[in-house]
């Protein structure tokens, strides 16, 4: 188990920027950013799936997320909150992908710069947002391959295939989605930063956080999450 305790925080006027994690189906997890609007309202910003970036007002009464607070200076927090507002306003179409590319990021206008990353997941969306303040959350070179991660990627690829065929039934008019499906097929063998490990990294110091730190802390976080 981790030597680092899990420190949960509730969204408030003091806790203006948080990372949330929740359980979904079949013991899977999902990660999101919580940021405060200029009206003082908290919003949940997350990549739900393929080309589905969601920015929604946080409903605490229905929320199944638990939240950790990243170790940021007040200036870093101000900048990343403003950056999240720009991304939400721009609402870029982000394809879903499996590999971890440390060059993927969002520019100052909130546009997604993919640099051949072949898409993002809910976790790598968060790591890409942090790069705007020049913070790399995880040391991907320290990450370990796990058979269960590859199995999860296979499940997600199958779901991605179903979503693309349903939402874009005519390949001739939506060739980019089918080309993306072909491009990411081989990425199911990539190292996976699980949502709870992304949340774990956010409360670590120093950064980037290693696999040896994030894996046990992520497991501790997941064990405390409420059922969906």
Angle between helices 195-202 and 122-130 (to 10 degrees): 30
Interatomic CA distance for residues 203 and 159, integer angstroms? 31
Interatomic CA distance for residues 114 and 142, integer angstroms? 23
Helix H or strand E encompassing 154: helix 147-167
| pTM of this structure | 0.96
Contacts of 225 (CB under 8 A, 6+ apart): 21, 22, 23, 29, 64, 66, 196
**70: nearest Cα among 134, 130, 13, 139:** 130
Q: Give, for all 228 residues of the chain, the pLDDT tens digit.
A: 556 778 899 999 999 999 999 999 878 999 999 999 999 999 999 999 999 999 999 998 888 999 999 999 999 999 999 999 999 999 999 999 999 999 999 999 999 998 776 899 999 999 999 999 999 999 999 999 999 999 999 999 999 999 999 999 999 999 999 999 999 999 999 999 999 999 999 999 999 999 999 999 999 999 999 998
């Amino acid at each position: 188990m981790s030597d680092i305790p899990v420190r949960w925080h509730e969204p408030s006027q003091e806790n203006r920027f948080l990372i949330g994690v929740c359980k979904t189906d079949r013991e899977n997890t999902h990660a999101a950013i919580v940021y405060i609007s200029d009206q003082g309202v908290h919003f949940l910003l997350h990549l739900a799936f393929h080309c589905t970036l969601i920015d929604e007002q946080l409903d605490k009464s229905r929320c199944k997320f638990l939240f950790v607070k990243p170790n940021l200076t007040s200036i870093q927090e101000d900048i990343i909150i403003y950056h999240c507002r720009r991304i939400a306003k721009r609402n870029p179409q982000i394809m879903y992908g499996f590999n971890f590319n440390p060059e993927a990021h969002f520019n100052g206008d909130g546009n997604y710069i993919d640099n051949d990353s072949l898409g993002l997941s809910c976790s790598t969306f968060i790591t890409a947002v942090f790069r705007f303040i020049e913070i790399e959350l995880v040391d991907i070179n320290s990450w370990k391959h796990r058979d269960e991660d590859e199995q999860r990627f296979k499940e997600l690829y199958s779901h991605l295939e179903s979503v693309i065929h349903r939402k874009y039934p005519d390949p001739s008019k939506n060739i980019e989605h089918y080309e993306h499906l072909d491009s990411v097929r081989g990425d199911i063998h990539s190292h996976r930063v699980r949502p709870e490990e992304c949340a774990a990294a956010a409360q670590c110091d120093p950064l980037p956080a290693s696999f040896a730190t994030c894996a046990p802390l992520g497991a501790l976080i997941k064990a405390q999450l409420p059922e969906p």
